[in-house]
Chain A
Amino acid sequence: MKILVPIKRVHDAYLRPRLAPDGSGVDLEKAKMSMNPFCEIAVEEAIRLCEAGEASEVLVVSVGPGACQDVLRTALAMGADRAMLIEAPLHVEPLSVAKLLVSIVEREQPDLVITGKQAIDDDSNQTGQMLAALLGWPQATFASNLERKGAEITVTREIDGGLQTVAMALPAVVTTDLRLNEPRYPSLPNVMKARRKPLETLSPDTLGVDIAPRLKVLKTEEPPPRKAGTRVADVAELVDRLQNEARILRAES
């Protein structure tokens, strides 16, 4: 089984993003960038399937500027076998990414695509589902468990009311939720080894995909600030303020 893992390079999840002063959106010029956390989980899951003997090859792909090579090298250091970079501008819409991935799927014929359920920058939560639709493949989004059972995979999904289990014949698309696994840190020897693993560069033009954006971003702004809060001295003051100031709790009659 060959697994394709699309990954995205995003603003580091643990640092606070800032708006660029020119109003162009979030300032990514000097920001620390990392692999999208959900994509890290996807890479980890694919590598674990290889280690368990269920899969034979893990191919990672990213869409973006040349700097995306760093997250691809991270995935290779974690244990992926090969990487592909589709060189494109910083912002590519999920629909365009899905179309680029269709062309990679046609070239590489993977049996399974595992990717993050959403990127923590635009929070779109679309690419995996769009890819599945364009390929006519089944999908299992928000996966918290994945098992291969013969020609099928069984996926447990996190849904609003609890958990849902679905089975899919391969090929299929899976998107990862938080509790699927805990991604490993690459060891130093593996980081060194990853430098020699193959990384191919492609372009949307050679793949024949138009990536012109469909949506026009009119503005990106801070949400209105909340008013400063009050430190209350004790429980009595808290209840009094909730009753008489915020008027959230009914006062005792």
Chain B
Amino acid sequence: MTILLVIEAEATGLSETARRAFGAARQIGSADILVVGTACADTSAQAAKLDGVGKVFVAEGTEAEGLTAEVLAATVMGLSERYDGFAAAADSVGKNFMPRVAALLDVMQVSEIIAVESPTVFTRPVYAGNFRQTVEVPAGEKLVLTVRTSAFEPAALGTASAPIETVPLIVPETGTARFVSESLAGGERPDLATARIIVSGGRALGSKERFEETLRPLAERLNAAIGASRAAVDAGFVGNDLQVGQTGKIVAPDLYIAIGISGAIQHLAGMKDSKVIVAINQDEDAPMVKLADYSLVGDLFELVPELIQALPKSDA
């Protein structure tokens, strides 16, 4: 079984998300990588050093701006005959283009796998993570997978470098969305998808200002990423890029501190695989308090500053 893993070129080089997705691909069989983007040099050079990678293809150019699904799918299809399967991280890029690849290959995609049981059997969450389903792809059919990267360990980097080969970006003549612009939040806080600690806030924070002034000092003290519930995003406290949940980011940090988040089923779906969960909440019957490993019931506006004071000065 030979898998082609599709990853996005990042300004910061090979991402931890990509390394985790490669870890999943290697559990299935041998794996090559296709790096797609407008500037791929750093990412592809580092990808070539991943332990066990056979070959790295690079599809680079301005046509890849915005990583539109039509271009990515067509470019992957250009390599489709060489591979038994295709995988990508289940991030907003992978979720966008990979089902097109599946449809063009006339196969079903297995979305957001969390475990590789065998090269044709995969486990994935359904019903917002309330259940997990194990599915088998028929023998001889091409695999198309997206990977929930928080469920896999990042692959190690070795010292040898795999060969790098350039392939063309393929832009369909018609039926392609045109990239207009992007407004990326960016920020000085660690990335939500890979942070070791996440401090997350809900509607109980009350306002954009109070969300910021309550959570930021705690996040800074812990060197944590900031997350939010859908209610907090809908209320405009923070941007959509910070939403944790079934339809936002799926995270599994070492420590998840839920502050003023009652714990709607859709939010729990996005964070319940965190190693340790702390809930700080007024309501002792809130689902988040019941789920948490440690719960602290009371007024968050008193407890959070107190917690900041009580934490050791150095990073966790």
Within 8 A of A (CB), among B270-294: 272, 275-278, 284, 289-294
Residue from the list B96, B134, B230, B312 in contact with A249, Cβ < 8 A: B312
In the docked arrangement, what's the CA distance between A127 and B290, Å? 35
Given A162-B240, A165-B181, A221-B132: A129 and B97 interface contact (C-beta under 8 Å):
yes
Contact at A26–B294, with CB atoms within 8 Å?
no
Is there an interface contact between B69 and A141, defined as CB atoms closer than 8 Å? yes
Interface residues on A, range: 35 or more
Cβ-defined contact, B100 with A130, below 8 A: yes
A120 to B130, CA, bound (A): 11
Within 8 A of B (CB), among A137-171: 137-142, 144, 154-155, 157-168
Q: Does A105 contact B (CB under 8 A)?
A: no
In the complex, what residue of chain B is closest to A217 when comparing beta carbons? B135
CB-based contact B310/A235 at 8 Å: yes
B127 on interface, CB distance cutoff 8 Å: yes
B99 & A126 in contact (Cβ 8 Å cutoff): yes
Partner of B314, one of A118, A155, A250: A250
| Residues on the A chain within 8 Å of B99, using CB | 94, 125-130, 133
The answer to whether B125 and A163 touch across the interface, beta carbons within 8 angstroms, is: no
* Chain A 95-137: CB-based contact to B (< 8 A → 1; otherwise 0): 1001000000000000000000110111111111111111111
Interface check A196, CB cutoff 8 A: no
Q: Does A215 contact B (CB under 8 A)?
A: yes
- Quick one: CB contact mask for A171-207 with B, threshold 8 Å, 1 for yes? 0100001110000000000000000000000000000
Residue A246 CB within 8 A of the other chain: yes
Query: What's the interface size class on B, roughly?
Result: 35 or more
Contact of A178 among B101, B234, B249, B294 (CB under 8 A): B234
11 contacts between A and B (CB under 8 A): A124-B111, A129-B99, A129-B100, A136-B172, A158-B240, A178-B234, A179-B233, A216-B136, A229-B291, A231-B296, A248-B316
Residues of A within 8 A of B (CB): 11, 13, 16-17, 19, 25-26, 93-95, 98, 117-118, 120-142, 144, 154-155, 157-168, 172, 177-179, 213-223, 226-227, 229-232, 234-236, 238-239, 241-243, 246, 248-252
5 new A-B contacts at CB < 8 Å, known A17-B127, A238-B278: A139-B70, A158-B92, A218-B135, A231-B295, A235-B306
Query: Which 10 A-B residue pairings sit nearest by Cβ, starting from the closest?
Result: A129-B99, A130-B103, A133-B100, A126-B99, A133-B103, A161-B184, A138-B177, A165-B180, A159-B92, A252-B312
